[in-house]
Amino acid sequence: MNYFLTAEQELIQQIARRFARERVAPVAAELDEKGEFPRKLLDVLAKTDLCGVYLPEEYGGLGGGMFGFCLVVEEISRVCSGVAICYAASGLGAIPILLFGTGEQKRQYLPEVAAGKKLGAFALTEANAGSDSFAQETTAVRDGGHYILNGTKQWITNGREADIYTVVAVTNKAKGARGISAFIVEKGTPGFSFGKKENKMGIRASSTTELIFNNCRVPEGNLLAREGMGLIVALKTLDQSRPGVGAQAVGIAQGALDLALKFARQRVQFGQPIIQFQAIQHMLADMATQTEAARALVYSAARMIDAGAKEISKSSAMAKVFASDVAMRVTTDAVQIMGGAGYMKEYPAEKMMRDAKITQIYEGTNQIQRNVIASELIKERD
């Protein structure tokens, strides 16, 4: 379908697609099996200039915005969403700096992310602060010209592999939600270490790790925005990044549809390819329709963000919740069409099904996204 891409956007899509097919596809199964972080692939990706596709040119990026970011995430996810999320999570760590950083902070950190020399990560989740992001327990206490961080972050994508972390912590417990702040923390800062690496069902190429802060001293100049704005930083960041999760889900769904179509054309039963049976045709038709609808929602939300729309929470949540639900349905149907073969690791369909599940969970579960959508609907007036 024609999504009215500019020449530059078409080029971004083509480069990402070529990278995914030529570099990622041959090693995707191995990376998944070993749970191996794709450092070499990310180094190759850095040479394409796509690491900074969403960042402004003044910081070394391509100025492609969230739409360009979604194009890259979708194409890589079509082959391996585990590799894609390593790329996307770096953007998630950099977006708070782009949105709320001072000029000095942006100049210090964003060019290295854009060049692919350093990876970012976003540290919000804790053992008792998942969907309830207000329940932060990690603390940041001012001490002269520094803040001292103590606490543990859980399930952080890019874990020990990142170089620059946006970390949310409590600076004044008495103020509740207004007592939470956000900080830039660099790897190697004394008192900052890593806990266990999680053994995940899907997106196994990515590193999901605990972050441990034990009297970690962070310069006050690394505070993002100002004290008490941590949750605003986090929520505004997630509003911007959720179409990226939607793009990941669209890529997974498209990859599964591609695989199911190819299999259905080749698999012969009862004397003919199974794609000739109406039951299979209807499944494929629904899979294709749902994937295109999800893509349209994701692209629309990304374009709204790039256009500077003030109210993006609803559109962002819709894109994420719909696309991730579609990815789960389409991958499940792809496995069903492929039958026993779909259940075997010889084919990537089972991996796509495992990978799809997380898109319904992270960056806000789909139940939370429905709360967000409903809340925005209630606010609306004729």
Location of structure tokens 């299999």? 263
Are the C-beta atoms of 137 and 129 separated by less than 8 Å?
A: yes
Residue that is written with structure tokens 């939370």 in the block: 368
Helix (H) or strand (E) holding 90: helix 81-100
| CA-closest candidate to residue 120, choices 65, 185, 56, 58 | 185
Residue 363 bears catalytic tag: yes
Sorted by sequence, the CB contacts under 8 Å of residue 363 that are 6+ apart come out as: 92, 238, 241, 242, 245, 320
Beta carbons of 252 and 73 less than 8 angstroms apart = no
Return the axis-axis angle of helices 278-306 and 230-266, rounded to nearest 10°. Answer: 150
Catalytic pick from 198, 363, 376, 380?
363
Contacts of 178 (CB under 8 A, 6+ apart): 172, 228
- How far is CA 364 from each of CA 82, 188, 201, 239, 378, rounded to the nearest angstrom? 18, 29, 18, 10, 20
- Phi (first) and psi of residue 85, to 5 degrees: -70, -25
Residue 162 · residue 121 · CB < 8 Å: yes
The Cα–Cα gap between 286 and 303 comes to 26
Beta strands at 146-157 and 139-143: parallel, antiparallel or unpaired: antiparallel
Catalytic residues: 363
